[in-house]
């Protein structure tokens, strides 16, 4: 079985019995069986040849997927009891292809995605073990594996293990450090969500008072999708354990903070990386301990990189976190934050565009609550929005392109409302910009 023809014949003989069974049960006609056999023979000779390419395997796999899909439809329509080996054939091809082209990550990723959609969890564990062993210096693989175990299996132990092992091989990957901190922050959110649904985050005395009002029906503020899926695995919940978690380091944000500190030590206090951590943590505004985590990042920058533009950017954003724009404290916080940002722009004129983008994002976030806030504050926010979009235009290659780029970024991030407001407020001054007009039309369809 040394030559390509011998290998092709070996694999074709393995599928002959299945084809005969498909014809016998009249799932496929004789002509269709002949066509399938001929196609398989062509593909087998191609993939077993010395000059084969990963794309040849992918075309072969796509053909087998189509055959399997047609077989399933025929079986359902005819009401025939037949399981066949369609999925096994596809898995076999992926396995053979990845063994031949171990360095082709595209082929590996398609193999993983197929098994994931097929919910072949045991096989996925084997695939992840193989691929990270073969490509230990690829941070994206460690991240993908960890996220899979967290999202699909609700298994923080395996997810954390993949992240930590990945950092041993890819300790200089900034993205891997950030994703590990993100994973731990997500886990805090899931634990907090479970406690909230069970009512363990509520003062017991207050809970008893609420029971006195029989006309009120208490509804949870979070849904089951926000909670760790592992709750579905059993009917019993250890409330005592969850109560004890309230004072445990995990809910105080100690683990993400430890990851951040380790990353800063690894990268010698790199300010740009610290700002990336801040941006990531700021996305979790519903996590109870995230304010403490953000404060820790800002404290680090103030102590180790006080004169950097990154320290100024984080110092500008932090006071707004957890503060409602309609609150009495908001005008004072806004004034102080704007002073901080304007001073940073004067000190770092080369970062005017970066700081202006940060200001615009924060202003748009506050404007969402325009109906609840004072009219004077609303006018100040609108004025500042015009000011900072003007700064963006100064640094752009074409009038309106920088604003369009920011609006497109907001749209990609799922902040369509902010993107619409930014485009709408900029059209009066930049209405001649074709890109801005096209984006306006796209956002309002």
Buried b (16+ CB within 10 A) or exposed e, 182-213: bbbbbbbbbbbbbbbbbebbeeeeeeeeeeee
Q: Choose the weakest-confidence range: 149-153, 188-192, 238-242, 416-420.
A: 238-242
Boundary of a domain, candidates 101, 127, 151: 101
* Predicted confidence band of residue 248 (pLDDT cuts 50, 70, 90): low
Q: How far lies 428's CA from each of 166, 229, 372, 386, 423, in Å? A: 50, 48, 26, 11, 9
What local confidence, expressed as pLDDT, does residue 205 receive? Answer: 41
Say if residues 155 and 228 touch (Cβ distance below 8 Å). Answer: no
The answer on 63 and 166 residing in a single domain is no
Examine the domain organization and report whether 139 and 180 are in the same domain.
Answer: no
pLDDT for residue 76: 83
Using one digit for the tens of pLDDT, what is the confidence trace for 332-388? 999 999 999 999 999 999 999 999 999 999 999 988 887 777 888 889 999 999 999
Give domain status of residue 164, yes or no.
Answer: yes
**What's the average model confidence in pLDDT over 257-282?**
95
Q: How confident is the model at residue 220, as a pLDDT?
A: 37
In percent, how much of the chain has pLDDT > 90? 47
In a domain, 96, yes or no: yes
pLDDT of residue 144: 94
Q: Where is pLDDT greater, at 444 or 344?
A: 344
Please, is 395 exposed, middle or buried when counting C-beta atoms within 10 Å of its C-beta (0-12, 13-18, 19+)? Answer: middle
pLDDT 10s digits, 115-126: 999 888 889 999
CATH number at 107 reads 1.25.40
Residue 273 lies in a domain: yes
Q: What's the pLDDT score for residue 430? A: 75
Residue 346, in any domain of the structure:
no
Do 124 and 54 belong together in one domain? no
Same domain, 163 and 249: no
Question: Would you say residue 68 lies in a domain?
Answer: yes
**Are 28 and 13 contained in the same domain?**
yes
Residues 275 and 177 in one domain: yes
**Where residue 228 falls among pLDDT bands split at 50, 70, 90?**
very low
Q: Residue 80 — pLDDT band, cuts 50, 70, 90?
A: confident
| Two structure tokens written together for 411 | 């749209």
d(CA 274, CA 259): 11
Residues 15 and 94 in one domain: yes
Residues 193 and 301 placed together within one structural domain of the fold:
yes
| Shared domain check, 183 and 134 | no
The per-residue pLDDT of the chain, averaged, comes to 83
Number of residues assigned to the chain? 445
CA 208 to chain centre: 40
- Look at residue 200 in the predicted model and tell me its pLDDT: 62
CA distance linking residue 290 with residue 274, whole number of Å? 15
Distance (Å, whole) CA 424 – CA 364: 12
As a whole number of angstroms, the distance between CA 268 and CA 261 comes to: 10
User: Which tops the pLDDT comparison, 430 or 359?
Assistant: 359
Cα gap 22→28, rounded to integer Å: 6
Burial 166-181, CB ≥16 within 10 A → b, else e: bbeebeebbebbbbbb
Domain count, the chain: 3
pLDDT digits (tens, 9 = 90+) for 231-244: 344 444 455 554 55
pLDDT surpassing 90 at residue 196? no
Where does a domain end: 248, 276, 306?
306
Written as one string, the DSSP assignment of 100-136 is: H-TT-HHHHHHHHHHHHHTT-HHHHHHHHHHHHHH-T
Task: 292-298: list long-range contacts, CB under 8 Å, 24+ apart.
Answer: 292/252, 292/253, 292/257, 293/185, 293/253, 293/256, 293/257, 293/260, 294/318, 294/321, 296/253, 296/257, 296/260, 297/260
Does residue 139 belong to any structural domain of this protein? yes
d(CA 27, CA 22): 5
Please write the tens of the pLDDT for every residue from 168-179: 999 999 999 999
Q: What is the pLDDT of residue 394?
A: 76
CA distance 396 to 295: 33
- From 261, 281, 306, the end of a domain falls on 306
Alpha carbon distance 379, 356 (integer Å):
18
Per-residue pLDDT tens over the stretch 384-401: 999 998 888 775 555 678
- Give residue 231's pLDDT: 39
Of 302, 310, 188, nearest in space to 255 by CA: 188
Output the pLDDT for position 325.
87
DSSP for 36-102 reads HHHHHHHHHHHHTSTT--HHHHHHHHHHHHHHHHHHHHHHHHHT-----SHHHHHHHHHHHHHHH-T
Same domain, 125 and 36: no
Question: Per the domain annotation, does 376 fall within a domain?
Answer: no
Residues 131 and 83 both lie in one domain: no
241 belongs to a structural domain = yes
pLDDT surpasses 90 at 93: yes
Identify the domain containing residue 272 by its residue range: 172-202+222-306
Q: Are residues 237 and 277 in the same domain?
A: yes
- In the predicted structure, residue 227 carries a pLDDT above the cut 50: no
Rounded to whole angstroms, the Cα distance separating 410 from 317 reads: 17
User: Which candidate, 140, 124, 116, 15, places its Cα nearest to that of 71?
Assistant: 15
> What is the reported pLDDT for 22?
82
Residue 299 has pLDDT above 90, yes or no: yes
Quick one: what percent of the chain has pLDDT higher than 70? 85
Confidence of residue 83 (pLDDT cuts 50, 70, 90): low
> Span 143-168, mean pLDDT?
92
- Output the CA torsion 317→318→319→322 (10° steps): 110
pLDDT tens-place string over residues 21-65: 888 888 888 898 889 889 989 998 999 888 889 999 999 999 999
pLDDT of residue 225: 39
- Mean per-residue pLDDT for 139-148? 94
pLDDT score for 2: 57
């Amino acid at each position: 079985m040394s030559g390509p023809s011998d290998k092709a014949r070996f694999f074709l003989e393995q599928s002959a019995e299945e084809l005969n069974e498909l014809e016998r049960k009249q799932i496929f006609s004789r002509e269709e069986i002949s066509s399938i056999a001929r196609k398989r023979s062509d593909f087998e000779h191609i993939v077993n040849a010395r000059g084969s390419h990963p794309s040849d395997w992918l075309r072969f796999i796509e053909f087998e997927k189509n055959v399997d899909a047609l077989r399933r439809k025929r079986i359902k329509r005819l009401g025939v009891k037949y399981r066949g080996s369609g999925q096994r054939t596809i898995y076999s091809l992926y396995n053979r292809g990845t063994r031949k082209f171990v360095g082709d990550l595209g082929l590996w990723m398609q193999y993983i995605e197929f098994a994931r959609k097929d919910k072949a969890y045991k096989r996925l564990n084997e695939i992840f073990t193989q691929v990270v062993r073969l490509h230990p210096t690829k941070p994206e693989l460690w991240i993908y594996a960890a996220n899979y175990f967290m999202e699909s299996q609700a298994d923080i132990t395996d997810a954390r293990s993949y992240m930590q092992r990945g950092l041993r091989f890819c300790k200089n990957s900034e993205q891997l450090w950030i994703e590990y901190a993100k994973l731990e922050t997500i886990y805090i959110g899931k634990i907090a969500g479970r406690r909230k649904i069970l009512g363990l985050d509520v003062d017991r005395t207050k809970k008893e008072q609420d029971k006195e009002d029989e006309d009120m029906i208490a509804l949870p503020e979070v849904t089951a999708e926000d909670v760790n899926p592992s709750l579905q695995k059993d009917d019993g919940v250890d409330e005592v354990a969850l109560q004890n978690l309230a004072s445990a380091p995990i809910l105080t944000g100690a683990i993400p903070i430890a990851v951040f500190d380790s990353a800063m030590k690894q990268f010698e206090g790199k300010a740009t990386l610290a700002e990336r951590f801040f941006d990531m943590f700021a996305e979790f505004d519903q996590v109870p301990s995230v304010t403490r985590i953000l404060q820790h990042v800002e404290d680090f920058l103030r102590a180790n990189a006080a004169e950097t533009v990154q320290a100024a950017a984080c110092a500008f954003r932090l006071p707004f976190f957890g503060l409602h724009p309609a609150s009495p404290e908001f005008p004072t916080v806004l004034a102080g934050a704007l002073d901080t940002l304007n001073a940073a722009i004067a000190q770092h004129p080369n970062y005017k565009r970066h700081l202006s983008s940060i200001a615009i994002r924060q202003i748009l976030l506050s404007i969402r609550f325009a109906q609840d806030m004072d009219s004077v504050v609303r006018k100040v926010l609108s004025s500042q929005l015009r000011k900072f979009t003007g700064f963006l235009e100064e640094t752009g290659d074409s009038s309106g392109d920088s604003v369009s780029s920011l609006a497109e970024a907001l749209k990609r991030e799922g902040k369509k409302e902010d993107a619409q407001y930014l485009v709408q407020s900029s059209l009066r001054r930049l209405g001649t910009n074709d890109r801005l007009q096209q984006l306006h039309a796209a956002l309002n369809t």
